[in-house]
Amino acid sequence: MNIQRAPGASRRLVLLIVLLVLLPVLFLSAYQIGTYSSSEQLIRDVYQRQLDVILYSLNQYAWDVSAHWAAALRLSLDENSRAPEAGMRAFLERNSAVESVVIADSAGGRLVLVSRDTAASGRALQESLAVHLRSERGRLDQLLRYRSLEYRKLEPFVLPSPVGGNVRIALIFANDSSAGLPEFAGLVFLEDEFIAKMLAGRLADAAGQEFVLAVFRKGQESPATASGPLRQDAILQRRDLWLFPDHEVVIASRGATLDELVHTRLMRNIALVGVLNVLMLAGVALIYRNVRAQVELARAKSTFVSNVSHELRTPLALIRMYAETLEMGRLTSEEKKQEYYCTILRETERLTHLVNNLLNFSRMEAGRKPYDLSPGSLSDVVRDVVATYTPHLAYQGCSPIVEFAQDDLRTVLDREAVGEALLNLLDNAAKYSGRNKYLRVTTGREVGGVYVQVEDHGIGIPPQYHAKVFEAFFRVPSGFVHDTKGSGLGLSLVKHIMDAHGGHITLTSVPEQGTTVRLIFPPVI
Ligand code: ADP
């Protein structure tokens, strides 16, 4: 019997697990890791687009505010076309964020400026505007062309302050041609003030919890206004402000940078896939071990049934044949008759031993094997068993050498169970003795207690099976064992019995040299 090697079934099992579980899992993991970069790119794109929308909405807001002003100014001028200055003043009263309003023609002529500022700075502004309008004829002509297409474009002109201080923005648009007014009108406001007053609140709204929005004058390190503290390396996007060409608006993440966010996510996902794979592999390994054990057990059981049947059939056939011969009365020699009786007795004993082992095993399996433990003499048990079993051993060609300790070896034991254990050891020693029929039974004391030991010079057990031989149904898969009958239950019963006694077993065995099994019982305290 061979329950160690089940190459066909095991290989099929491995193949099945690899095909059904490991390959799909590995494929899925590889696919997921492979597509991470593209899905991360997708996320990055969506993110960038979202940022674009935020920046766009801010630009749009500034644009809407100024377009609203322009429309209001146009209305005021229309209503007061005869006295435009009155209309301009009325507009200024209603819109406190606007510093001045202007009307002028394309050459900067007929320039009327109404300002809430002092007369002195008003004059300086008037001159600055006239110079700009004259020098930017191209842009003004473009505004007229737009007007002919019914499009009221606002054109920003940056008016740097002559002596430092505030930069002004003039938003110029084309007037209605019919009103008899100069061709252009414009709103003038302080850039910083507009940004601080009109955009700051809006920045905080648009930034939300996740981002910081800020407006920078181009080339400057610190922002003109920001919705919160801002780290330069956390800036995600920057866009020009349509209304203020010398300013840009930036969006930054509050914590990590975009790359850090994406990278952290990527790493977390890969780690997750890794952990899942490890769990999956551990699960597969566990399933494999279990299924393999089950397959081996099923195989062992079926081999066991055929082994046991064989073990039953041989003695039964012998008993029947000898009994029939005796019954027919053909044997005349008393000696022969005696020999036949002996054989029948021996085979019956063998059957009894086998059936006992089977019954004990099934009780042991069901957890119903009772032990009647009481203080007693190990020496007595050993002596009785050896004496009873010696004729049987003799028949197998073994005459045991006995070396018993002088003193009485006392321990707590179940006489019957210990007898069975010893019987199994003697049976094995005789069965697996090969050509050298040496068999020695020793009792004695050692550090941990008292012992009985059975030694043979038989076929031995290869080292890799020393632990396995104590498992139920296990039989060493190679060599002479196949020629010897056995159920594979003997040593597992011995182990169960020794466990119940709180004792232990040592096994020393070298192939071709022999085996020594020692049963050690705890001493009586
Ligand atoms: P079995 O009915 O097969 O003898 P056991 O449980 O008693 O079952 O033993 C398990 C296996 O251990 C045996 O099949 C045999 O291969 C090996 N074995 C046990 N005792 C010996 C021994 N004294 N010498 C060599 N091999 C042994």
In a domain, residue 95? The reply is no
Let me know whether 350 and 315 are in one domain: no
Residue 438 has pLDDT above 70, yes or no: yes
459 lines ligand 1 (CB under 6 A): yes
Q: Is residue 487 within 6 Å of ligand 1 at its C-beta? A: yes
For residues 128 and 469, which has the higher predicted lDDT (pLDDT)?
A: 469
Say what the pLDDT of residue 271 is: 87
* In the predicted structure, residue 440 carries a pLDDT above the cut 80: yes
Q: Smallest Cα–Cα separation from 194: which of 172, 220, 166, 153?
A: 166
Rounded Cα distance, 507 and 464, in Å: 12
Burial class (CB in 10 A: 0-12, 13-18, 19+), 220: exposed
Pairing of strands 401-403, 374-377: unpaired
- Residue 173 pairs with which residues in a beta bridge? 185
Task: Clarify whether residues 363 and 419 are in a common domain.
Answer: yes
Quote the ligand 1 centre to 341 CA distance (angstroms).
29
Residues 430 and 481 in one domain: yes
| 284 and 411 co-located in one domain | no
Distances (CA, A) of 500 to 48, 306, 360, 473, 525: 73, 30, 13, 20, 17
Residue 482 is predicted with a pLDDT of: 61
> Which of 304, 310, 396, 432 to mutate for ligand 1's pocket (most ligand atoms within 8 Å of CB)?
432
359 and 269, same domain (yes or no): no
Beta strands in 322-403 (DSSP E): 374-377, 401-403
Q: What's the CA-to-centroid distance between 428 and ligand 1, angstroms?
A: 6
Where a domain ends, among 291, 324, 357?
324
Structure tokens at 359: 């019954």
Q: What are phi and psi of 196, to 5 degrees?
A: -70, -40
Written as one letter, the residue type at 354 is L
Distance of CA 15 to the CA centre of its chain: 24
Rounded-to-10 torsion of CA 17, 23, 29, 32: -140
Outline where DSSP puts E strands in 33-109: 100-104
Q: Is the CB of 469 inside a 6 Å radius of any atom of ligand 1?
A: yes
How many separate domains does the chain show?
2
For residues 3 and 474, the answer to whether their CB atoms sit within 8 Å is: yes
418 pLDDT band, cuts 50/70/90, is very high
pLDDT in tens, 103-124: 988 766 778 888 886 555 677 8
Domain span at residue 25 reads 2-34+260-324
Distance 475 CA to ligand 1 centre (A): 6
Reported as half-sphere exposure (CB side, CA atoms, 13 A), residue 427 has a value of 23
In the numeric block, the tokens 């070396």 are attached to 403
Q: In this structure, is residue 56 part of a structural domain?
A: no
| Residue 174 DSSP SS3 | strand
Least reliable range by pLDDT among 163-177, 410-424, 443-457: 163-177
Ligand 1 centre to CA of 296 (Å) is: 18
Do the Cβ atoms of 32 and 273 come closer than 8 Å? yes
Residues 283 and 357 in one domain: no
Identify which of 250, 242, 245 has the alpha carbon closest to the alpha carbon of residue 64: 242
Question: Is residue 467 over pLDDT 70?
Answer: yes
Q: How far apart are the first and last CA of the chain?
A: 44
253 in any annotated domain: no
350 and 441 inside one domain: yes
Ligand 1 close to Cβ of residue 453 (< 6 A):
no
On whether both 310 and 341 belong to a single domain, the answer is no
Considering the domain architecture, whether residues 304 and 376 belong to the same structural domain is answered as: no
- pTM surpassing 0.75? no
Domain boundary among 324, 353, 378: 324
Q: Which of 491, 505, 506, 512 to mutate to test the pocket of ligand 1 (most atoms within 8 A of CB)?
A: 491
Are 358 and 470 part of one and the same domain?
Answer: yes
Ligand 1 mutation target, pool 2, 4, 461, most atoms within 8 A of CB? 461
Per-residue pLDDT band for 2 (boundaries 50, 70, 90) equals very low
Range from 95-109, 192-206, 254-268, 421-435 carrying the lowest mean pLDDT = 254-268
| Claim to verify: residue 296 and residue 386 sit in the same structural domain | no
pLDDT band of residue 284 (cuts 50, 70, 90) is confident
Judge whether residue 163 has pLDDT over 70. Answer: no
| Ligand 1 atom having least distance to the Cα of 491 | 6
The pLDDT value given to residue 9: 65
Are 368 and 433 within one domain?
Answer: yes
What is the torsional sign of CA 275, 277, 283, 289? negative
Q: Flag whether pLDDT at 165 surpasses 70.
A: no
pLDDT per position as a tens digit, 174-215: 887 676 788 899 999 888 888 888 888 888 888 888 789 999
Tell me if 515 CB under 6 Å of ligand 1.
yes
Tell whether 453 is covered by a domain: yes
Instruction: From 279, 303, 324, give the residue that closes a domain.
Output: 324
- Ligand 1 centroid to Cα of residue 461, in Å, is 8
**Cβ atoms of 433 and 457 closer than 8 Å:** yes
Confidence at residue 323, expressed as pLDDT on a 0 to 100 scale: 94
Handedness of CA 127, 184, 197, 253 (dihedral sign): negative
Burial profile 59-87: b = 16 or more Cβ within 10 angstroms, e = fewer: bebbeebbbebbebbbebbeebeeebeeb
Q: 347: domain CATH number? A: 3.30.565.10
- 384 occurs within a structural domain: yes
CB 514 within 8 A of CB 456: yes
476 Cα nearest atom in ligand 1: 16
The answer to whether the CB of 432 is under 6 A from ligand 1 is: yes
Using alpha carbons, list the distances in angstroms from residue 271 to 43, 275, 353, 380: 19, 6, 60, 66
Regarding the beta carbon of 481 and ligand 1, being less than 6 Å apart is answered yes
User: What pLDDT, on the 0 to 100 scale, is given for residue 381?
Assistant: 96
The amino acid present at 44, given as its one-letter code, is: R
Query: For residue 29, how far is its CA from the centre of ligand 1 (angstroms)?
Result: 48
Q: Inform me whether the pLDDT recorded for 340 exceeds 80.
A: yes
Q: What three-state secondary structure class fits 116?
A: coil
Our answer on whether the CB atom of 429 is closer than 6 Å to any ligand 1 atom is yes
Q: Is residue 76 situated within a structural domain?
A: no
The Å distance, Cα 302 to ligand 1 centre, comes to 18
Residue 187, domain member (yes or no):
no
Query: Is 24 a member of any domain?
Result: yes
